[in-house]
Amino acid sequence: MKKFVSLALGSVLALAAAAGLASCGKKQNKRCGYNIKAEYLPDTQTLSAEMTANIVNPTDASADELKFQLWPNAFREGAQNKPVSDLYRKAAYYGGESYGGITVTEVGGCASFDVCGEDENILSVKLKSPLGAGKRVSLTFTFDVQLANVNHRLGVTEGGVNLANFYPVLCAVKDGAFCEYLYSANGDPFVNEIADYDVTLTLPASYTLVSGFGAKENEESATEGKKAYHVRADGVRDVAFVFGEDFECLTENADGVEISYYYPAEESDPASVLRAAKESLSFYSETFGGYLYPRYTVVTTGFVYGGMEFPALSMISSGLRQSEIPSVVAHETAHQWWYSMVGSNQYECAWQDEGLAEYSTALFLGAHPDYGVTYRDFISASERSFRAFYSVFSQVNGSADTTMNRPLTSFSGDYEYRNIAYDKGVILFDRVSGAMGERKCKAALKRYFETYKNRIATPEDLIACFERSSAGISELFASFIEGKCVI
Ligand SMILES: [Zn+2]
């Protein structure tokens, strides 16, 4: 995600954290499958859905219970872990207070189910019989999602309907146990293994559906005044959609990838956004390794922060200034490599993908002088921001915690989170590149991509890829992550 954008540069955001997931390197036949049939009803702003999930027990032991994240409940009235901080609340809830949530009415194929967790964020499903490690079970979920009026990942926004993190998704596993992550106004709390998705979405006929994976109109499922779309996405980390009336679209093919940009009719220069998407996708493919999906879509929609990444899809805020757009597009596009293709634990180690997304953006802008920001401009802006943060926090709190491996919920707010994950994150990769040389640094990133694409990499996995190119570089990483270096 790109949270907000500085006046000069187009900002610098990011996260931080640590620890490893136990479930790296699953073979293709061990993927979960989610088959979702849903209809959006605009009058009530609800999504009525049925989902058949083919779940593989991801733990190393027999399980009698599976756990799923219920992300929409963060939008419910009374949620403790709200999706938006007070600072952004007014901009997000454009029409005043508004609430959403998810109601799971039935889970078929299990012994019982229960909404639980610290903040009604977890669906516990007790199985009829123990499920061996790596074995499969099929469960059928019936649920309704209520959408709030909010410019966020999930909501009826001022620019369209954003439909992300809307279905019960299997919790990440760490040390053999399901992680019960809480929504956080800081960063992106979602940690998913790749899975196979088959989604049929029924919408009012007047709507345009924006998807990263291409949508086929399914005429057999359509009823009067409605259209049904079928989306198939195998081996991806998530699926998300945007839909609404009045979207225009520009599409271009580049290096075998269909790149599309969806935008509101009043937008003045859509071609420049498509160009930034195309150039950044091409640059990262060349620098880090080839893009894996057949399509890439950018959409301008209502979103309270700068932008948000999903596999093959980036949401860009309709509130951005023209000058901010290239760096936001470049940042979100970089997440296709760092988050989507190479996964990491964004909840506990946010710097890993945000720092890399920022570093990739700096490299991209440095290689494309037309955008008017040099590599050094970009890094210097982050250094200024971080030093100011350090000074403020040291004075106010007596000290500043600059360790980087921290859960999202441990940050005091947007300011601390942004400076640790994004600013310190990009400075880390700049210093690593300076110490080992840019050529070796890029080779290490290529190795990281090649080794961990379609998996979830720990910080140790990342650092090991750099260590192979430059023995001893892990000490530099450690000094940053442990908060010992001076910037
Ligand atoms: Zn980001």
Nearest-angstrom CA–CA distance, 65 and 138: 13
Choose among 345, 303, 293: nearest CA to 325: 303
Tokens of 127: 């199985």
Distance of CA 134 from the midpoint of ligand 1 (Å): 32
Distance of CA 354 from the midpoint of ligand 1 (Å): 5
Distance of CA 14 from the midpoint of ligand 1 (Å): 6
Whether residue 229 lies inside any domain: the answer is no
Whether residue 85 lies inside any domain: the answer is yes
Nearest-angstrom CA–CA distance, 104 and 50: 10
Distance of CA 350 from the midpoint of ligand 1 (Å): 9
Those residues whose C-beta lies under 8 Å from the C-beta of residue 438, and which sit 6 or more positions away, are none
Q: Would you place residue 10 in the very low, low, confident or very high pLDDT band (cuts 50, 70, 90)?
A: very low
Three-state secondary-structure class, residue 211: strand
Distance of CA 64 from the midpoint of ligand 1 (Å): 36
Those residues whose C-beta lies under 8 Å from the C-beta of residue 141, and which sit 6 or more positions away, are 49, 50, 51, 52, 53, 104, 106, 107, 108, 167, 168
- For the chain, the C-alpha Rg in angstroms (whole number) is 21
Whether residue 468 lies inside any domain: the answer is no
Percentage of the chain lying above the pLDDT 90 cut: 91
Distance of CA 226 from the midpoint of ligand 1 (Å): 35
443-453 burial by CB neighbour count: b if 16+ within 10 A, else e?
bbbebbbeebb
pLDDT of the residue at 223:
80
What total of structural domains would you count in the chain? 1
Whether residue 23 lies inside any domain: the answer is no
The gap from C-alpha 158 to its chain's centroid, in whole angstroms, comes to 21
Q: Would you place residue 220 in the very low, low, confident or very high pLDDT band (cuts 50, 70, 90)?
A: confident
Distance of CA 141 from the midpoint of ligand 1 (Å): 31
Whether residue 305 lies inside any domain: the answer is no
Please state, as a whole number, how many other Cβ atoms lie within 10 Å of the Cβ of residue 317.
24
pLDDT of the residue at 421:
98
Whether residue 109 lies inside any domain: the answer is yes
Which helix (H) or strand (E) element contains residue 385?
helix 375-397
Give the tens place of pLDDT for each residue, 169-212.
Answer: 999 999 999 999 999 999 999 999 999 999 999 999 999 999 99
Give the tens place of pLDDT for each residue, 116-169.
Answer: 999 999 999 999 999 999 999 999 999 999 999 999 999 999 999 999 999 999
Whether residue 475 lies inside any domain: the answer is no
Whether residue 105 lies inside any domain: the answer is yes
Give the tens place of pLDDT for each residue, 24-57.
Answer: 344 446 899 999 999 999 999 999 999 999 999 9
Mode of pairing for the β-strands spanning 122-131 and 63-69: antiparallel
Length of the chain: 487
Q: Would you place residue 222 in the very low, low, confident or very high pLDDT band (cuts 50, 70, 90)?
A: low
Choose among 131, 152, 158: nearest CA to 32: 131
Structural domain that includes position 190: 28-202
The gap from C-alpha 431 to its chain's centroid, in whole angstroms, comes to 26
Distance of CA 151 from the midpoint of ligand 1 (Å): 17
CATH code, domain carrying 62? 2.60.40
Give the tens place of pLDDT for each residue, 424-483.
Answer: 999 999 999 999 999 999 999 999 999 999 999 999 999 999 999 999 999 999 999 999
Distance of CA 1 from the midpoint of ligand 1 (Å): 3
Mode of pairing for the β-strands spanning 241-244 and 247-254: unpaired
